[in-house]
Amino acid sequence: MRGKQYLTRSEDYDRVYRQNASWTSRLLVLRAAESGPGISRHGYSISKRVGTAVVRNRMRRRLREIMRLVPVKPGWDIVFIVRPGAAGASFDEIRKSVESLLSRAKLLNRENEVYCLKAD
């Protein structure tokens, strides 16, 4: 089932972008669209303004790890648009921003909240 939780086709991204549901923070923009029953999928849009390929890939890895640990309600397609200021942010700052956006969008699955992230 590896890879099923990611948005991969441009049509999927276009469908999410056509929805008017978006939430913003200093580091990220969250766009979401209902996808019907099933698992939630997520994707990332990181422009070259954020930084070099190394920086963009680091952001993608951090966001994937955060989304792996955060419980999200099933049946949603979610796109995170990374803002240039996120390149210098710590993992904990990005995690807080993701959790805040998901909470404001009412996409956090609080029923089975078992994850724990601690900053050292």
10-residue mean pLDDT profile of the chain (120 residues): values are 79 90 94 88 95 96 94 93 94 96 91 54
Q: Which residues contact 18 (CB under 8 A, 6 or more apart)?
A: 33
For domain 10-104, the CATH class is: alpha beta
pTM of the prediction?
0.85
Contact between 43 and 17 under an 8 Å Cβ cutoff? The reply is no
pLDDT the model gives residue 8: 87
pLDDT the model gives residue 110: 75
pLDDT the model gives residue 115: 52
pLDDT the model gives residue 109: 84
pLDDT the model gives residue 1: 46
